[in-house]
Amino acid sequence: MRGMTALLIGFIAYAGLLVVSKMLFAHGIETRVMRILVSLSPMLAVVFICGVIIWSIRHMDEMQRKLQFEALALAVAGTALITFGYGFLEGAGLPRLSMFVVMPLIATLWFIGVMLGRLRFR
C-alpha cells in the first residue's frame, strides 16, 4: 500500500507540473534555456515514479518479482514489435506518431502481462 500511495503522489505531481508548464508556455517564455527547463519539469515526477516502481519491485517476494519480470519482458517485446511494425507502415504513408505513445503502450502491455501472469501463477 505504501508504494501505491507514493505512486499516486507521483502521478498527481506529474499532472500538476504538466499543467503549470502548459500555463507558463501560454504566457510566453523568453529564453530557450527556460523553455527547455519548463518543458522537462514534468520529468521530475516521472523520475520519482520510476524510483517508486523500482523500490516496489525490490520489496516483492520472489514469485511477484518473477511475475513482474515476465510482464515487463512482454511489454518490451510487444512494444518493439508494435513500434517497429508501425515504423514500416509510416513508410507506406500512415501518419507519424509522437514518442508520447510509447510509454502508454509499454504501460498497457505491462498491465496485460501482469494480468496474464496472475492467471498463470494462481
pLDDT on residue 103: 92
Verify that 21 and 72 share a domain, yes or no. Answer: no
Q: Please check whether residues 8 and 34 belong to one and the same domain.
A: yes
Q: Any residues with CB less than 8 A from the CB of 11 and at least 6 apart, and which?
A: 45, 49
DSSP structural state of residue 92: T
pLDDT digits (tens, 9 = 90+) for 5-63: 999 999 999 999 999 999 998 888 889 999 999 999 999 999 999 999 999 999 999 99
- Mean per-residue pLDDT of the chain: 93
Domain boundary pick from 59, 88, 107: 59
Give me the percent of the chain exceeding a pLDDT of 90.
87
pLDDT of residue 115: 96
Distances (CA, A) of 46 to 12, 23, 97, 101, 113: 11, 19, 21, 15, 22
| Global pTM value | 0.79
- On whether the CB atoms of residues 15 and 42 are closer than 8 A, the answer is no
| Number of compact structural domains in the chain | 2
Contact 60, 68 (CB under 8 A): yes
Domain with 69 in it: 61-122
Which pLDDT does position 13 carry in this prediction? 96
Q: What is the pLDDT of residue 1?
A: 67
For the stretch 67-111, pLDDT in tens is: 999 999 999 999 999 999 999 999 999 999 999 999 999 999 999
